[in-house]
Amino acid sequence: MPQRLHLVFGGELVDPSKTAFKNVDEIHIVGMFPDYASAYEAWKAEAQKTVDNAHMRYFIAHIHRLRDEEAEASPTEELDN
């Protein structure tokens, strides 16, 4: 069974209706989690801590979806060879 890594991170957004961070250097990396359930619990805990700040958002990134070893390499990846 393939590993399903999830990254939980967040920070202050420029505009609460968009996903651009105000300061990328201040992004809070909560951590990497081995499954969605544990990532969700971490996301929920951090999101609840900042519920009073409408500009703060936390996200779950599905890291396992970024790279599929079976898929053909993209043209950009080919530039490294």
Q: What is the pLDDT of residue 79?
A: 43
Q: Report d(CA 40, CA 6) in Å as an integer.
A: 9
- CATH domain 6-69 topology: Alpha-Beta Plaits (3.30.70)
Residue scoring higher pLDDT (15 or 65):
15
Report in angstroms the alpha-carbon separations of 39 from 5, 13, 23, 69.
9, 21, 23, 23
Q: Report d(CA 53, CA 47) in Å as an integer.
A: 10
Residue scoring higher pLDDT (38 or 65):
38
Cα Rg of the chain, angstroms: 15
Domain boundaries, the chain: 6-69
Predicted TM-score (pTM) of the model is: 0.76
